[in-house]
Amino acid sequence: MLKRMNDIHKYLRKDGLVILRNYRYDFVNIETTGIMKGGSISISSYYFVFITELESPYTVYVNIVPNEILNPIQISYHHNCHFRYLNLSKLDGCPLNVHENLLIKMDKGEVYATIFNQSYYDNYNKKQVNLKYIKYLLFVKPRYYNCRHELLPPNFSIQLDLIKKAFLLEKEYDENLFDVVCNLEAELEAITNKMQYTPFIDE
């Protein structure tokens, strides 16, 4: 299994997500209903965020964030944030090229990212491995039309909940909420620590 996340939830402030200059950010909003609202299209309540280390282009992290934590001022000053909106129906037979090392595709109801030319550290065999490509499940398509309850893998559903609660905690400290955030962090770490392969970064 592959560890693809980093600790994006640790870069929250009360005014939103801190955008770091040593990364490229690709925010992809994949809407699943196609419902029109007041003459405008509907959007998903969260973005998948593909974060690429500029000094290590073979390391792409995958995260999920709720829309409300994005700070337009941070984004406008970063100059390397890229946004894409995609309706799920457009993915059927037509993959989205995010950048040269990253493709989003749907196959048999599963929406996944294909990440090319990746370097990993094999935690079991204690050596670097290079993979021509890997597939990483983002979510499973809803079975019924107009259903907004796409099935997220556990790591994404936990991270989404963690970020929402951590953002509230940044705005106003609450001891009970602090405990909830700590528990969610531990739960997410337990999942990622089981991964055999972790991203390899040249020092």
* Residue 144: exposure state from Cβ atoms within 10 A (0-12, 13-18, ≥19): exposed
- 41: which residues sit within 8 A by CB, 6+ positions away? 31, 34, 85, 87
Q: What is the pLDDT of residue 1?
A: 43
Residues of the chain with pLDDT under 50: 1-2, 202-203
- What's residue 83's pLDDT? 95
Which 8-state DSSP code applies to residue 14? Answer: T
pTM, entire model: 0.86
Residue 199: per-residue pLDDT: 61
End-to-end, the C-alpha distance of the chain in Å comes to: 23
Beta bridge partners of 62: 50
Q: Are 154 and 194 in contact (CB under 8 A)?
A: no
Please state the separation of Cα 200 from the chain's center in Å. 18
Q: What is residue 203's predicted lDDT score, i.e. its pLDDT?
A: 43
